[in-house]
Amino acid sequence: MIYVPAFLVLIPVVTGILILMFRNERMYLLAFLAQTLITVLAVSYFFVFRDDFASGAFVLGGWPEHIGITLANDRLSMSFIFLTILLWWVVLFYKYEPRKTDHSFLFFFLFLQGVFFGLLQTNDLFNLFVFIELTTIVATVLVGFKKTGSSLRAAIYYLLINTSGILMFLIGVLLLYNVFGTINLLHIRDNMEAMDSERLVQLAYILMMAGISIKAAIFPVYTWLPKAHGAAQSAVSALLSGLIVKSGVYLFIRMNQMFAALSLDYVDFFFIIGALTAIVGVVFALSQKDIKQILAYHTVSQVGIVFMGLAQVDAMTAHGGLLHAFHHGMFKSLLFLCAGVIIKVYRTKNVSEIRGVMKTMPFVSAMMIIGMLSITGAPLFNGYISKSIIKYGIEANPFQYAALFAVNIGTAASFIKASQIFFGEKPLSYAVKKRPPYVALAILSILCLVFGVFFAPLSDFFFTVDISHVSILSARGILEYALYLIAGYLIFRLIIKKDGSLIQRLRGFRPSFETANYVFVLYMAAMALHFIVL
Amino acid sequence: MNPVLTFIVVLIGLYGLATSKNIIKSVFCVTIIESGVILLFLNFANYEGGAIPIVSEDVAAIVDPLPHALMITTIVIGSAVTALALIICIKVFHHYGSTEWAQILRREDVK
């Protein structure tokens, strides 16, 4: 049982290699088998070490703990592991086509799962760097997998900007090693108070946060995300938006745990950054016409909401931010997978050309409506729960509350715009032959509902945090949701539908690569100004 | 070597990323940052008169071997990144006939 953390990393990678070696018809079964094995191992590991995760840590190679690489878990990483397993099951079902197995896709797909498990479990900062870089490389290959021009240019943009960010993270690791003489995350956390050179540690914090910000795609450095997630194939977009972006959120929590004793004032800074991310993401999403671009910009804005929750002193609000990251993983993958089915049938991504989905594909449109209700925060769906916890936490401050309110209205407006595709006549001249992937979509939409209704016992089970104070059918919640919808509809009718010159200019706004890097340097300078000088 | 000098190498790479308009140059700049980071690591591990970290009679004189082990890994990862980036560069050039960022990003999606 103690070897489970290592097996979680190894099983997907080895299975991927086997699939690539024996390019066989039945290899899909092997992928299902490996996935079942991982699920069983992870669940049993959780139940065995539920009360004492420290005893479940595994030191690779039998070295002493301060030298060797430790794979350890806690409730945070275990929850992320469960979300990973869930999303990989879903995409495995989504891509399942008998007699048409794409072996090299399966290899990269399973490999990404393995290295992501490594990223979640490792306790060694350099090993963390290796796993982050590996996820970047594998995700790059998956983004460019279609080999179209737009996906390739998105892939290289993604690879280069993430690599330069992660090298900044590596400099931070170097500074920490220089100060503490170890790169074990837990040892550094325990010795944080005893360090003597505060300036170097602060510099390390800034550099590491800069790298993590690029991974999480928050405000000034988010430009790679809409390109990559809009250009990749839908199954990959679902994984990237649902989970790989969350590696930034996960590392943000981990690093702030590690630097907790440094007592840096990160709350104000990252709240402002989060609010800007959310607003900018929504504004760009409103201007887009490509359905995948709309969804990708909404990932930016939802990550902004997550950061608005995480950057709070109050532990309950921070938990709301974390929960929103999980809920976002479910509904955003659902939306991307539904969009993928629709795009495949209609052969266009433009929302103003797709019409009558409700008649051609009733099942898919029902699932997509569930996803839309979740992302806009309708009561009974999971988005409502996490957004409510964040809302309770920040409503004392009118500016913060106004920012969240504006983002919610923008999200509603944007999805009212996207929901045009359901109505209208049926312009398809050909019949829809292919069956939609029922299982994959049904799993995700049922989970959206389950996490929206039975949120209290689930949160207690996974995080041991009691959130039963959120009431699903309060008059205030329903009234506010109605307000979002009405305001969103007005914005859609009065501003978006006219498609004025400002909106067209926003839609055509494509920052170049050197501008993105320039902004990245400025972002680091702003952090240095905030954390060191002021 | 002075750590400040190696840090300047990192800054040169960042300056290059923020100004170069060509994909190939951007790939080179990432490589330059990486070389800077590697030199920085080795610099911090080194001291005047230290021996290379290979076990010999004079064990007391050798420098800290851990940064060397880490940097071997970084070099391997860096070569993988560079290779992948250059391959995608070739593919992008086949699609767009150019390796200038401005030209390839300006194109509308063909579909």
List the domains of chain B with CATH numbers: 3-106 (1.10.287)
Question: Does B8 contact chain A (CB < 8 Å)?
Answer: no
Question: Does A60 contact chain B (CB < 8 Å)?
Answer: no
Question: Does A182 contact chain B (CB < 8 Å)?
Answer: no
The answer to whether the Cβ–Cβ distance between A512 and B37 falls below 8 Å is: no
User: Residue A458 has which token pair?
Assistant: 């689930």
The answer to whether the Cβ–Cβ distance between B30 and A152 falls below 8 Å is: no
Alpha-carbon distances of A429 from A346, A360, A361, A432, rounded to whole Å: 10, 11, 14, 10
pLDDT at residue A28, as a whole number: 83
Question: Does B70 contact chain A (CB < 8 Å)?
Answer: yes
A437-461 pLDDT per residue, tens: 888 889 899 999 998 888 888 888 8
Choice between B43 and B90, residue whose per-residue pLDDT is larger: B90
Inter-residue contact A59 to A68 (CB < 8 Å) = yes
Choice between B65 and A120, residue whose per-residue pLDDT is larger: A120
> Any idea what DSSP says for residue A59?
E
> Any idea what DSSP says for residue A71?
E
Give residue for tokens 């050909």.
A430
Mean pLDDT of chain B: 86
Question: Does A147 contact chain B (CB < 8 Å)?
Answer: yes
User: What is d(CA A388, CA A379) in angstroms, rounded to the nearest whole number?
Assistant: 10
Give residue for tokens 């630097």.
A259
Question: Which residues, given as ranges, of chain A have pLDDT below 50?
Answer: none
Question: Does B12 contact chain A (CB < 8 Å)?
Answer: no
**Closest C-alpha to A122, from A183, A54, A69:** A69
User: Residue A492 has which token pair?
Assistant: 């859609």
B 45-64 → A contacts, CB under 8 A: none
User: Residue B89 has which token pair?
Assistant: 């560069």
Question: ipTM for the complex?
Answer: 0.93
The dihedral built from the CA positions of residue A89, A86, A217 and A139, taken in this order, carries a sign that is negative
**pTM of the shown model:** 0.93
A73-88 pLDDT per residue, tens: 888 999 999 999 999 9
User: Residue A434 has which token pair?
Assistant: 């292919």
pLDDT at residue B111, as a whole number: 44
User: What is d(CA A430, CA A352) in angstroms, rounded to the nearest whole number?
Assistant: 19
Enumerate the residues of chain A whose CB falls inside 8 A of the CB of residue B88: 140, 144, 152, 155-156, 159
pLDDT at residue A251, as a whole number: 93
pLDDT at residue B109, as a whole number: 55
**Closest C-alpha to A136, from A40, A226, A214:** A214
pLDDT at residue B108, as a whole number: 67
Compute the nearest-CA separation of A512 from chain B (Å). Answer: 6
H-only helix segments in chain B: 3-19, 23-45, 66-96, 101-106
The answer to whether the Cβ–Cβ distance between A159 and B88 falls below 8 Å is: yes
CB-CB neighbours of B87 under 10 Å: 14
